[in-house]
Amino acid sequence: MFTPKYPTPDTAPTPTTMAQPPTATAPVPAPQTSPVPVAPAPNRPTVQLTPGSALALAAGGGAVVLVVGAVLVSMLLAVAITAMSVAVVAVVLKSLLKDLDKQR
């Protein structure tokens, strides 16, 4: 259960022949041709937002902000209530110990 799961090793083919050192030959010049303009390929698909989808996106973002804010406020409130209860317990214990010392 707690043992690591390793990915399978790469399956790259192993080289079977030794690489030949390059021989000194004169380079052959390539024929001169005019470059053909190529349209740039898009790296990723574009997302087009319609007014309805933009409104839904804004409403969803607002809802997320409200939910996260409500959770944070409730956590802060829980910490404040806990701190108040610990303070009350400390005052009560101090009072009990003070009364115990007076009786001796």
Q: Is residue 94 one of the residues assigned to a domain? A: yes
Task: Please give the mean pLDDT across all residues of the chain.
Answer: 83
Q: What is the pLDDT, as a whole number, of residue 58?
A: 94
Q: Is residue 4 one of the residues assigned to a domain? A: no
Could you give the number of structural domains in the chain?
A: 1
| Local confidence band at 56 (pLDDT 50, 70, 90 cut-offs) | very high
Range of the domain at 92: 63-104
Q: Is residue 104 one of the residues assigned to a domain? A: yes
Q: What is the pLDDT, as a whole number, of residue 94?
A: 95
Q: Is residue 38 one of the residues assigned to a domain? A: no
Count CB-CB contacts under 10 A for residue 42. 7
Residue 94 or residue 32, greater confidence? 94
Q: Is residue 50 one of the residues assigned to a domain? A: no
26 has pLDDT over 90: no
| Most distant CA atoms of the chain, gap in Å | 112
Q: Which range, 20-24, 36-40, 79-83, is most confident?
A: 79-83
Q: Is residue 83 one of the residues assigned to a domain? A: yes
Q: Is residue 71 one of the residues assigned to a domain? A: yes
